[in-house]
Each structure stands twice: as C-alpha cells, then as structure tokens.
Amino acid sequence: MPQFSPISRTAPSPRLDRDRQAAPQVFERLREAITALELTPGTVLSRTEIAAQFGISQTPVRDALMRLDKEGLVEIYPQHATVVSPIDVNHAEQAHFLRRSLELEIVRTLALDTPPTLAASLTGAIAQQEAAARVEDFETFSAMDRLFHRTLYEAAGMSELWLLVRSRSGHIDRLRRLHLPTPGKAQEILHDHQRILAAIISGNAVEAQDHLRDHLSGTLAHVAQIRAAYPAYIRG
C-alpha cells in the first residue's frame, strides 16, 4: 500500500492558521487531498507523520481522521492503520440522488425568482472554469465547479443544505475527478453550466431542471468505463 509521506509533493500544505482550531483544518486539508485523488484509495495515513507534518499533537489528527471515517473516506483499523477507502459506487449513487433532488428544486426556485446578482456570479465561475479547462488545470476546474453549484444554494438561501451535500459527496466527487480528464468532459460540463444559467435567466424552470438533470447524471452513466480504467480504486 502507498504510504502518506510528510514530504510528499501531493501532501497537503503543513501551514495551519494558528488562530483556528487545528482539527477542522487538518480534516479539510486531508479531505481535499482525498477527493482530488492526491491521496488515492489504499494510501495508509500515519497519525504520527501527519501530526509531524502539521506541527501539532496527534489529538487533532485523530479527530480529523474520525470525521473522515464518518464520511466514509477512510477506514480505521484500531491498533493497525488508517487507510484511504475505495470509492463506493452505492454511496456515490445515494449522494447523487440527494443532490439531484435538492438542486432540481433550487434551480426551479431561482428560475421563478432570480436574484439580481446571480447571473454575474455564475458567469464569473464559468469564465474561470473555461480558463482552467484551456490549460487542463483540473484542480481549479473542479473548484470552480463546486463554486458554481454552491452559488446556486446560497442564492436560494440554502447554504446549510450545501454543507449537507458536500459532507455526503466524497465518493461521487472522486468518481468525477477520475472522469474529468476524459477528452471532451470538461467542455461538456461547461456547456451544461451555460445551459443551466441561460434557463434560469430566462425564467424557464422546466428547462433549468432538464439541463440540471442531464448535467448531474454525466459521471454515473460512465461508471463501467471508469471502473475498467481504475479497478483498484472502486468498490461496489
């Protein structure tokens, strides 16, 4: 199994904000590295090494790993090891169902009553995605994808639901990250975002929902191909 190294090129930055609690920051850094596949399924996470990397005690590291375990992103074997979990397809499907159910209602709400600043915010996110796609910067592209969707939730006054969706999305986010480099995939996502935005702006709730439904189904429709390319990463 690959080991988490405190000096790894792909390891999270060791700098923490000393004015904030350490455990949530370590959790976010590790979660980001896992969902970006910088820490791949099967990677062993050493509590001692992570604590040394961040310059903290093992207690906040333990708390961060326990939160990752609750999200199903790591598997903790007491007195043995903590390992980055495989991608669970069933978990991904349930997260997709939750997100689709919420976002269909959110885009409908926004199409029927569009906040005046929404178009500019979404256009900005799309522009940054386009720039990232041109240079195949998939990390920035993914971050702007999350920003696009988070902006929808915030505009609808549903920020807490975005946090809920995000806490359930680790497995499907990893599937999407594996799928993203596929030729044409980034352009397909951009086109979907543009269609969703256009439908919202025009006040067409039905079209907004149709485009969103197509958009969110893109990765799960290709699970067989993703599994064939990355059999060691996927379970279920």
Residue 166 vs residue 13, higher pLDDT: 166
Q: Is the pLDDT of residue 78 over 60?
A: yes
Handedness of CA 178, 179, 182, 187 (dihedral sign): negative
Same domain? For 104 and 58 the reply is no
Same domain? For 107 and 206 the reply is yes
What are the tens digits of pLDDT across the range 19-75?
789 999 999 999 999 999 999 999 999 999 999 999 999 999 999 999 999 999 999
What are the tens digits of pLDDT across the range 173-188?
999 999 999 999 999 9
- Give me the number of domains the chain comprises: 2
The mean per-residue pLDDT over the stretch 82-111 comes to: 97
Same domain? For 182 and 193 the reply is yes
Residue ending a domain, choose from 37, 64, 86: 86
Q: Is the pLDDT of residue 123 over 90?
A: yes
Domain interval for residue 68: 22-86
DSSP designation for 57: -
Asked if residue 4 belongs to a domain, the reply is no
Q: Is the pLDDT of residue 202 over 60?
A: yes
Q: Which residues pair with 81 in a beta bridge?
A: 77
Q: Is the pLDDT of residue 141 over 80?
A: yes
Distances (CA, A) of 67 to 30, 76, 164, 181: 11, 11, 14, 29
Q: Are strands 87-88 and 234-235 parallel, antiparallel or unpaired?
A: parallel
Residue ending a domain, choose from 30, 59, 86: 86
Same domain? For 119 and 136 the reply is yes
Q: Is the pLDDT of residue 9 over 90?
A: no
The mean per-residue pLDDT over the stretch 141-148 comes to: 97
Long-range contacts (CB closer than 8 Å, 24 or more residues apart) made by 9-14: 10/38, 10/39, 11/38, 11/39, 11/53, 12/38, 12/53, 14/53, 14/54, 14/55
Longest dimension (CA), the chain: 58
Q: What stretches of 16-122 adopt beta strand conformation (E)?
A: 44-45, 74-77, 81-84, 87-88
Using DSSP's 3-state secondary structure scheme, residue 88 falls into strand
Same domain? For 137 and 126 the reply is yes
The mean per-residue pLDDT over the stretch 104-133 comes to: 97
pLDDT-derived band at 236 (thresholds 50, 70, 90) equals confident
Same domain? For 29 and 133 the reply is no
Same domain? For 38 and 101 the reply is no
DSSP designation for 86: P
Of 138, 169, 162, the residue nearest 148 (C-alpha): 162
